[in-house]
Amino acid sequence: MTTKPQPWILTASCPSRLGTVDVVTRFLAETRNYVLEIQSFDDRALDRFCIRVEFRPERDGFSADDFNEAFAERAAEFDMSWELTAPDHRPRVAILVSKYDHCLNDLLYRYRTGQLNIEIPVIISNHPDLESLAQWHGIPYYHLPITADTKPQQEAEVWKLINQYEAELVVLARYMQVLSPDLCSKLDGWAINIHHSLLPGFKGAKPYHQAWEKGVKLVGATAHYVNNDLDEGPIITQGIQSVNHVHYPEDLIEKGQDIERVTLSKAIRYHIEKRVFLHGQRTVVFAD
């Protein structure tokens, strides 16, 4: 089976003005880089333009440093910020988890089979339950218990590990703890959380049981960036499925967990493939 070659990815954003697409595509053409995919969006609400391009070099000896140096001259005229991502870049992802294992299991499978082009250097938990799963995959697992009194010290250890393992993305794979404002601030824009989409209607314990008692007709999940507004950060992906009277609480839980797995993995993939642009509290997501 032939492996699909991975492209270089150029992402850029700048104030809206005439010529924003041209400055990118013209430069790629002049430097002999073939455009494979291009997506752009002009946000009228914020007067902000963003673009994502997948390309392959048409000549040998492509140099990221030379590309950035040359493109800087063109981008300066548009006050454009940009990022160039190499095909072989595998972002380092730290996973935080509690006792529920469905999202962690799914991410480890996708990591192991190459469906997610990432490295997972560390798993951190406030419970010891999933250590054997991490050990089976050969990934260091840190059990950091937490109480109301020890929360500052525990989060300091979490932050230390995130930096020690040089994580580029943090994923809360059903980590059942509310992060402090300080840690939320540190992780702003590079930590992804997943939760069921029954919020804010059914909070607290047994949300699916609450939803069943009210006869809900939809269950789903939301993946979003972490910020200091609990479960209300900028949304990356959402999933949803219809249910009806034949579905009991355990059925809703099973369906909800399935949707959480798919929704979280898609959000991570969109993030690492540079498909997500943060525009204030909203996102622009160039889905594939």
Instruction: Say yes or no: 202 and 185 in one domain.
Output: yes
Considering the domain architecture, whether residues 185 and 80 belong to the same structural domain is answered as no
Residue where a domain terminates, one of 85, 113, 140: 85
pLDDT band at 206 (very low <50, low <70, confident <90, very high): confident
Phi, psi of 250, rounded to the nearest 5 degrees: -65, -30
161 vs 212, higher pLDDT: 161
Same domain, yes or no: 98 and 215: yes
Q: How many domains does the chain have?
A: 2
User: Residue 65 catalytic?
Assistant: no
Chain segment 217-255, per-residue pLDDT in tens: 888 999 999 988 767 899 999 999 999 999 988 998 899
Looking at residue 288, what is its pLDDT? 86
Alpha-carbon span 251 to 257, nearest angstrom = 10
Collapsing DSSP to helix, strand or coil, 86 comes out as coil
Instruction: Look at residue 15 and tell me if it is in a domain.
Output: yes
Q: Which of 85, 100, 120 is the last residue of a domain?
A: 85
- Position 199 scores a pLDDT of 53
Q: Tell me the per-residue pLDDT of 104-141, one tens digit each, with 9 for 90 and over.
A: 999 999 999 999 999 999 999 999 999 999 999 999 99
- Note whether 142 and 51 are same-domain residues: no
- Which range of residues forms the domain containing residue 32? 8-85
Task: Kindly state the average pLDDT of the residues 199-204.
Answer: 66
- My answer on whether 199 and 274 are in the same domain is yes
Which are the contacts of 117, defined by CB distance < 8 A and separation ≥ 6?
6, 90, 91, 272
Task: List the strands of the sheet with 235-242, edge to edge.
Answer: 141-143, 119-125, 92-97, 169-172, 191-196, 218-225, 235-242
Q: What's this model's pTM, rounded to 2 decimal places?
A: 0.93
Which of 231, 251, 258, 288 is the catalytic position? 231
2, part of any domain: no
Residue range 185-198: mean pLDDT, rounded:
91
Nearest to 9 by CA among 52, 48, 42, 41: 52
Does one domain contain both 13 and 47?
yes
Structure tokens at 73: 């001259």
Q: In this structure, are 183 and 232 located in the same domain? A: yes
Amino acid at 268: I
Whether residue 97 sits in one domain with residue 60: no
Same domain flag for 126 and 250: yes
Kindly report, residue by residue over 62-78, the tens digit of the pLDDT: 999 999 999 999 999 99
What CATH number corresponds to the domain at position 279? 3.40.50.170
What are the strands, taking DSSP E only, across the chain?
8-15, 33-43, 48-57, 81-85, 92-97, 119-125, 141-143, 169-172, 191-196, 218-225, 235-242, 276-279, 282-285
Q: Given its phi and psi angles, is residue 178 left (phi above 0), alpha (psi -120 to 50 degrees) or beta? A: beta
Residue 58: which CATH number? Answer: 3.30.70.260
Same domain? 164 vs 277: yes
20, 76: one domain: yes
Question: Which tens digit of pLDDT belongs to each residue from 78-102?
Answer: 999 999 999 999 999 999 999 999 9
Query: Looking at the predicted structure, is the pLDDT value of residue 1 above 50?
Result: no
Whether 1 maps to a domain, the answer reads no
Mean pLDDT, the chain, as a whole number? 93
